Each structure stands twice: as C-alpha cells, then as structure tokens.
Amino acid sequence: MTTHTPAGWYPDPYGEPQLRWWDGTQWTDATHAHEPGPAQQPSGPQSPAQPPAQGQPPAGPGWAVTPANPTMRFGQPTYGQSAYGAPGQQQPPGTPPWGDAPLPGPGYGPPPKQRNPVPWIFGGLAAVVVLALIVVAAVLLINVGDSRDSAAPTPRPSTDSRPTEEPPTQEPPTQEPPEPAEFPQPSDGRITDARAGVSFKVPDGWTVPRWNQVNNGSPAEQQFSAAVQKTSQENFQGGNDWVGNVYTGVLNQLYPYSGVSGMSDTAKAVFVHFTTQYYSPAHDSKVVADKAMKVGDKQAWVLKFQLDFTKVAEDNGYKWKKENGAIVLIDRGADESPALVYISVPDNLGTDVVDEVLDSLKPA
C-alpha cells in the first residue's frame, strides 16, 4: 500500500524559513515567505499516532522521517526535518501542515518555475566538444587509411622463379663464466698486492690458498686480493678447518672512511664486524693496541687484538686457546679507500707471527 501527498505549499525541506511548492511528485523551485498564523488543530477525536509498518511511508499526524536522523518523531516537524522527497503528511488533506496561515489569495498556485540557465550552457558546450571530437576522429581515420594505402608499394612480379634463400641463422657465441681471480704467488719470500699497494713477508710454512676459499665474490662483503694462510686444526667442527691468515686488499666502501683523521674509528668498525662474523666459537676479546703507524711513507693505523677461546677450547679439545691478530689501514690518498691488512694467528701457529708480518709491511 502506498500513499501520495497532494500538491501544495509545505515547509522548505532544505532548512530555510520559507515555504516550497510540492507538485505531488517532487519539490519545485517555487518558494513563498512563511506567514505564521495560529495553529489549527484538526477537529474530532484524537487517537495516538502509531508508527508505520516496516517499509510503509509515514501516515497520520506527528510522524516524519528525516535523512539526517532517520527515525520517526512525534509532533510537528521543524524546518529542515522534512524528508528530501515527499513532505510528511502532518494534517488531514486540505489543511495546511503549518496551521491556518492563509495562502496569498484565492486560486493562488506556484509561480512559473525559473529554470537555471547554467545546465543548458554547460550542456551546449559539452555537445559542441563531443561533435568536434567526432569530426577530428573521422579526419584522423581517413588520413590513416590514406597514408597506409599510399605508403604500401604494390609488389612487382619477379622474373626469377628460383626460391628465395633465407640467410643462415647464426647462434650467438656462448661464453664460459670467467674463472675466479688468482692470488699472487710469493716472490723472494714476499707477497705483493699490486691492487692494494702493499707487500709483506710470508711466514714460514704458510701457503697461498685458492681465491674462492677466501672470497665469495659478493660486493656486500670484504674481498681480498692477496692471501696466505696455514691450518691450525683440521675438522675442528665436523669438517671445517681452523686456519691462521694474512689477507690484504682494498677496504670495502661499505665501511665508513673519512680520511687519516678517522682511521681509528674505521679500524674499530672493521674489528667489530670481523670478530662477530669470522669467529663463531664463544670467546672473549680485547684490544691490545690502537695507534698510528707508517708503512713506508704512507700514513697508517693499527689495531691489535687478542681473542681468548680457552674455555670452549678445553671443553671441545681444540688445539688452540688464544688468537692474536691485527687490522691495519694504509691511506692511499684523497678519494681512495685505504688498503686493508688483516692478520689473525692462533697461538699454536706461533705467538710472534703478527709482529713479524707488521714489521715487514712495505708499499708495493
């Protein structure tokens, strides 16, 4: 069941203190100033208003639904509380919902509706734009068709009936992956690292390892360009060898380096990284020297350290208990990363090896 609200003047649903004409189906642009009069109560017995059934429009006095507050309300609606659709039916048909305020004269109806010219202006402009786009598209399609036909030459029949031979397809040459770099071999008992610009004396019994035993090729890791090492204990942890080492190379740019004045900080950063990365057994560590030095005429810095594995070595039967080492940075000039010398020697390979290598350092 549906109900229709008759055409008439009703309080403006948009919250203005005026009346707006409802034509029976929708609100119009016609408005009229509200002239309040004494409220007129409908005659006859009054019955309590009942809320409408679910899904039904409001019926009976005192019920209205507002979009801003979609609940039923008793009493007369205030301005701005009528639905933005049909006005609430507040009085019996034929009675103005705001009381007995007179209409402005017998037979008065809504004034002619004033049309807003803006939508027509924009609509006309839109039509012109669409028409222009259609014309441009048609011209482009014609031009594309003409250019395609004129650009494609007509094939001329060949007088040679022999089949055309396709040129032979050449496979791109395959390249074998490059072999890992090789470390330099000793000459006169010394290793010369031309890339880092440093040389050192090879300790007795130490040999040059394979390149990939020391480097993994990752740019995120320190790579060395010269190395000698010696085994301290084979299979110390089920297959791994513990070795002593002397490695040299150019310091990875991931480590901070601000020049000679910042060498101490850089050496400490390398020490912390190396001792946590390369020494897995539990140990205590200490710095025994942290000072400037010279390698030939170049400014350098040395950080000497000692690692103590005594407890874990005794518990697991390791052949070494302590390890002496040194980290040396050699300045190579402005805008250049320094050379790095990394020495680490377990005590069962000798306790004087670190100092012997340090004393033998020379520029290459």
Tens digits of residue pLDDT in 307-322:
999 999 999 999 999 9
Distance between CA atoms of 242 and 247, rounded to whole angstroms? Answer: 15
Q: Are strands 339-346 and 362-363 parallel, antiparallel or unpaired?
A: unpaired
pLDDT band with cut points at 50, 70 and 90 for residue 113: very low
Report how far apart, in Å, the C-alpha atoms of 31 and of each of 67, 95, 112, 195 are. Answer: 22, 19, 11, 93
Q: Which residues contact 69 (CB under 8 A, 6 or more apart)?
A: 81
Backbone φ and ψ for 174, nearest 5 degrees, come out as -90, 145
pLDDT surpassing 90 at residue 224 = yes
Say what the pLDDT of residue 51 is. Answer: 37
Mean per-residue pLDDT for 317-338? 95
What angle is formed at CA 91 by the lines to CA 60 and CA 102, rounded to 5 degrees?
170
- pLDDT averaged over the chain? 72
pLDDT surpassing 90 at residue 264 = yes
Q: Which CATH class is domain 190-363?
A: alpha beta
pTM (2 d.p.)? 0.53
Say what the pLDDT of residue 236 is. Answer: 82
Percent of the chain with pLDDT over 90: 45
Map tokens 């055409």 to a residue: 7
pLDDT band with cut points at 50, 70 and 90 for residue 124: low
pLDDT surpassing 70 at residue 27 = yes
Burial class (CB in 10 A: 0-12, 13-18, 19+), 59: middle
Map tokens 């055309």 to a residue: 164
Q: Where are the alpha helices (DSSP H) in the chain?
A: 117-151, 211-214, 263-277, 310-316, 353-360
Say what the pLDDT of residue 156 is. Answer: 38
Say what the pLDDT of residue 337 is. Answer: 95
Mean per-residue pLDDT for 61-84? 34
Percent of the chain with pLDDT over 70: 59
Say what the pLDDT of residue 237 is. Answer: 80
pLDDT surpassing 80 at residue 92 = no
Question: If you ran DSSP here, which 8-state letter would residue 357 be given?
Answer: H
Say what the pLDDT of residue 209 is. Answer: 97
Residues 38-46: contacts with CB within 8 Å, 24+ apart?
A: 38/99, 38/100, 39/99, 39/100, 40/95, 40/96, 40/99, 40/100, 42/91, 42/92, 42/95
Say what the pLDDT of residue 106 is. Answer: 38
Mean per-residue pLDDT for 252-278? 93
Say what the pLDDT of residue 41 is. Answer: 39
Higher-confidence position of 73 and 342: 342
Say whether 128 sits in a helix, a strand or coil.
helix
pLDDT band with cut points at 50, 70 and 90 for residue 279: very high
Distance between CA atoms of 341 and 271, rounded to whole angstroms? Answer: 12
Backbone φ and ψ for 60, nearest 5 degrees, come out as 95, 160
pLDDT surpassing 60 at residue 149 = no
Say whether 126 sits in a helix, a strand or coil.
helix
pLDDT surpassing 90 at residue 180 = no
Distance between CA atoms of 317 and 304, rounded to whole angstroms? Answer: 26
Say what the pLDDT of residue 36 is. Answer: 56
For the chain, the structural domain boundaries read: 1-41+51-105, 190-363
Say what the pLDDT of residue 127 is. Answer: 54
